[in-house]
Structure 1
């Protein structure tokens, strides 16, 4: 299950009340920074924007493809490990504004993770190291390390143990030699 904090609201739906939870200045600043990063082809500049302007924790050699959309209101709740690839047009959310409540949850993506294009990561999800998310997936629950998942909603397709993954890494290294 997702790990989210729930905050009930009175009156109109929570989205109409969003500026009670986040300042307008922060929302506009984040929106501009995210749009720059979405179109930026230079990964070091893109990661600098995520780290320095948005406050995300982004590991070394992590690659965000073009058009990745990170959460506008709470990007600082996103953590991505080293050597991870976030595919084209993926959305990473840390908030949900609903009718009677809003929810916030940290998103933790491990190291050496591959997230396919057009996927959506919902708030409060943890994705373990070496996991693979198929393109077009909706990640609505935690994904264990070394697991290949896909679909809407996600389901496990295959799981490998750490030993098999290390053998695969050696094969790739030998191919590069």
Structure 2
């Protein structure tokens, strides 16, 4: 089960009331920083932007590929370890806005993790050290350290060899 905290809303759906849950100006700033970062070819500069202006925890030698989208409302809920790769066009969410509630959850990605292109990581999950997530996977639950995860629905397999 994902680790998220639920917040009930009344009246219109939770996304309609989004600026009661997060500041418009915070979201505006985060969107500008993320859009700049999505196009940034320098990994060092992109990581610095995300650490400094978004409050994300990003380890050394971690690479967020072209057009990766961290959560625009709660990027400070995202932690990525050392020497990990987040593939092209991957989305890392720390929030879910539903009809009658919204949910927030930290996303923890370990050291030496590889996440393939076009993945979506949902709030409240942990991806353990050395795990590999194949392209186009919806990560909707924890991935153990060293495991291989892929598909939709996501299947998790123990890896028997360390290199491919």
Indicate the TM-score class for this superposition, using the shorter chain for normalisation.
over 0.9
Q: For 2:108, what is the secondary structure of its paired residue?
A: strand
* Unaligned runs of at least 5 residues, structure 2: none
**Counterparts of 1:6 and 1:159 in 2: how far apart (Å)?**
34
2:52 matched to which residue of 1? 52
Normalized per residue, the structure richer in helix is 1
**Counterparts of 2:129 and 2:50 in 1: how far apart (Å)?**
21
1:146 matched to which residue of 2? 146
Q: For 2:25, what is the secondary structure of its paired residue?
A: helix
Show CA shifts across 1:101-123 (max 9, x none). 00000000000000000000000
**How many residues are aligned here?**
164
* Residue 158 of structure 1, CA deviation: 3.6
Q: For 2:148, what is the secondary structure of its paired residue?
A: strand
**Counterparts of 1:158 and 1:136 in 2: how far apart (Å)?**
19
Show CA shifts across 1:59-101 (max 9, x none). 0000000000010000000000000000000000000000010
1:135 matched to which residue of 2? 135
Question: Once superposed, what is the RMSD of the aligned Cα atoms?
Answer: 1.2
Q: For 1:25, what is the secondary structure of its paired residue?
A: helix
Q: For 1:83, what is the secondary structure of its paired residue?
A: coil
**Counterparts of 1:156 and 1:30 in 2: how far apart (Å)?**
33
**Counterparts of 2:46 and 2:16 in 1: how far apart (Å)?**
31
1:22 matched to which residue of 2? 22
1:33 matched to which residue of 2? 33
Q: For 1:16, what is the secondary structure of its paired residue?
A: coil
- Select the structure of larger CA radius of gyration: 1
The residue correspondences of 1:103-118 to structure 2 (distance < 5 A) are 103-118=103-118
The list of structure 1 runs, each at least 4 consecutive aligned residues, that deviate by more than 2 angstroms after superposition, is: 157-160
2:81 matched to which residue of 1? 81
Q: For 1:10, what is the secondary structure of its paired residue?
A: coil
TM-score of the superposed pair, with normalisation by structure 1: 0.90
* Unaligned runs of at least 5 residues, structure 1: 173-177
1:43 matched to which residue of 2? 43
* Residue 157 of structure 1, CA deviation: 3.5
* Residue 153 of structure 1, CA deviation: 1.9
